[in-house]
């Protein structure tokens, strides 16, 4: 994935739900952990992956704006 702050493709963190752990906890707590599990799934789903270099969250809109701006600049350089 491309980081708009580093201006290049970088490695990234992604929120991963550890389903096996949550399943175990749900069994141990007789099902009351299911509420926590659901919250974790919802939070992870709404969390964008983070850049490993600068810790900035990936932003598709910002990254594509930047690519568009760079292409425009490249085209204007070729025109001269």
Residues near Zn ion (CB under 5 A) are: 3, 5-6, 51, 53-54
3-state helix, strand, coil in the chain (%, to 5): 55, 10, 35
Query: Between 25 and 49, whose beta carbon lies closer to Zn ion?
Result: 49
Query: Between 36 and 54, whose beta carbon lies closer to Zn ion?
Result: 54
Query: Between 1 and 23, whose beta carbon lies closer to Zn ion?
Result: 1
Query: In the complex, what is the shortest distance from the CB of residue 49 to Zn ion, in angstroms, rounded to a whole number?
Result: 11
């Amino acid at each position: 994935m491309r980081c708009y702050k580093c201006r290049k493709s970088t490695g990234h963190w992604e929120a991963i739900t550890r389903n096996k752990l949550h399943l175990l906890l749900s069994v141990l707590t007789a099902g009351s952990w299911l509420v926590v599990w659901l919250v974790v799934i919802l939070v992870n789903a709404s969390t964008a992956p983070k850049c490993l270099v600068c810790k900035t969250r990936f932003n598709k809109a910002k990254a594509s704006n930047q690519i568009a701006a760079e292409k425009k600049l490249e085209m204007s350089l070729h025109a001269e």
